[in-house]
Amino acid sequence: GQNIDQPTEMTATEGAIVQINCTYQTSGFNGLFWYQQHAGEAPTFLSYNVLDGLEEKGRFSSFLSRSKGYSYLLLKELQMKDSASYLCAVRGRGQNFVFGPGTRLSVLP
């Protein structure tokens, strides 16, 4: 079967660092994606990992361990505008995408 798990909700303080974890079990693996989605808006692509290790992009970093079926999204210097849902998705066999349920992040002042 295919399964992706993420925490449902997280809360952090403005200026802090937060790590959103994602674990997956999928048929095949052709990359892991992170998206940000503000309420009522379309998702925005954040990052893509296909090899093990850390990919850094400004305040956002994403890590992948294929052997552990594990990824995390690290957000530094949190801002109020980072309050959103964060979706983890795996592209598996046949280039099919499977999405996790999303993590709703609330950034408090």
Partner 1 sequence: DSGVTQTPKHLITATGQRVTLRCSPRSGDLSVYWYQQSLDQGLQFLIQYYNGEERAKGNILERFSAQQFPDLHSELNLSSLELGDSALYFCASSGRVADNTQYFGPGTRLTVL
Residues in the site for partner 1, rule: CB under 8 A?
Answer: 31, 33, 41-45, 48, 87, 89, 94-102
Cβ within 8 Å of residue 5, ≥6 positions away: 22, 23, 24, 100, 101
- Specify the residue, 53 or 109, whose C-beta has the smaller distance to partner 1: 53
Least distance from C-beta 45 to partner 1, angstroms?
A: 5
- Specify the residue, 68 or 93, whose C-beta has the smaller distance to partner 1: 93
Least distance from C-beta 108 to partner 1, angstroms?
A: 25
**Distance in angstroms (rounded) separating the CA atoms of residues 10 and 94:** 33
- Specify the residue, 69 or 100, whose C-beta has the smaller distance to partner 1: 100
Least distance from C-beta 10 to partner 1, angstroms?
A: 17
- Specify the residue, 12 or 103, whose C-beta has the smaller distance to partner 1: 103
Least distance from C-beta 73 to partner 1, angstroms?
A: 16
